[in-house]
Chain A
Amino acid sequence: MRHLLDILDLSTEEIGELINIACDIINDPDKYSEKCRRKKLATLFFEPSTRTRLSFEAAMYELGGSVLGFSESSSSSTAKGESVSDTIKVVSCYADIIAMRHPKEGAPMVASMVSGVPIINAGDGGHNHPTQTLADLLTIYREKGRFNDLTVGLCGDLKFGRTVHSLINALSRYTGIKFVLISPDELKLPDYVTNNVLIKNNIPYEETTDLLAAMPKLDILYMTRVQKERFFNEQDYIRLKDSYILTPDKLTDAKEDLCIMHPLPRVNEISVAVDNDPRACYFKQVLNGKYMRMALILKLLEVE
Chain B
Amino acid sequence: MIIDSITDGIVIDHITSGMSMVLYKYLNLDRLTCSVAIIKNAPSSKNGKKDIIKIDRPIDIDVDVLGYLDPGVSVNVIKNGEIVKKFHPDLPEKLVDVIKCKNPRCISQTEQELVHIFKLTDRENRVYRCIYCESKATSDRHHR
Query: What number of A residues sit within 8 Å (CB to CB) of B?
Result: 17
Q: Is residue B30 within 8 Å, beta carbon to beta carbon, of the partner chain?
A: no
A75 CA / B106 CA spacing, docked (Å): 22
CB-contact partner of A83 in B111, B121, B135, B136, under 8 A: B111
* Chain B min CB distance to A87 (Å): 11
Q: Is residue A280 within 8 Å, beta carbon to beta carbon, of the partner chain?
A: no
Across chains A and B, the number of contacting residue pairs, with CB separation under 8 Å, is: 51
Q: B105 contacts A110, CB within 8 Å?
A: no
Q: A104 contacts B131, CB within 8 Å?
A: no
Q: B136 contacts A104, CB within 8 Å?
A: no
CB-contact partner of B111 in A85, A103, A126, under 8 A: A85
**Contact A109-B136, Cβ < 8 Å, known A102-B107, A104-B109, A126-B105:** no
A106 CA / B114 CA spacing, docked (Å): 12
Q: Tell me the nearest residue of chain A to B136, going by C-beta.
A: A192
Q: Is residue A127 within 8 Å, beta carbon to beta carbon, of the partner chain?
A: yes
Q: Which residues of A contact B73 (CB under 8 A)?
A: none
Q: Which residues of B contact A126 (CB under 8 A)?
A: 105
Q: B136 contacts A106, CB within 8 Å?
A: no
Q: Is residue B80 within 8 Å, beta carbon to beta carbon, of the partner chain?
A: no
Q: Is residue A177 within 8 Å, beta carbon to beta carbon, of the partner chain?
A: no
Q: Tell me the nearest residue of chain A to B134, going by C-beta.
A: A127
> Could you show 15 A-B contacts with beta carbons less than 8 Å apart?
A84-B107, A85-B111, A85-B112, A85-B114, A105-B133, A105-B134, A105-B135, A106-B108, A106-B134, A107-B107, A107-B132, A110-B132, A126-B105, A127-B105, A192-B136
A192 CA / B111 CA spacing, docked (Å): 26
Q: Tell me the nearest residue of chain A to B114, going by C-beta.
A: A110
Q: A110 contacts B111, CB within 8 Å?
A: yes
Q: Beyond the given A103-B105, A105-B133, A126-B105, could you list 12 further A-B residue pairs with CB under 8 A, ordered by the A residue number? A: A85-B111, A104-B106, A104-B107, A104-B109, A105-B103, A106-B133, A107-B132, A110-B107, A110-B114, A125-B105, A125-B133, A127-B134
Q: Which residues of B contact A104 (CB under 8 A)?
A: 105-107, 109-111, 133
A103 CA / B136 CA spacing, docked (Å): 19
Chain A 121-137 per-residue mask, 1 if CB under 8 angstroms from chain B, else 0: 00011110000000000
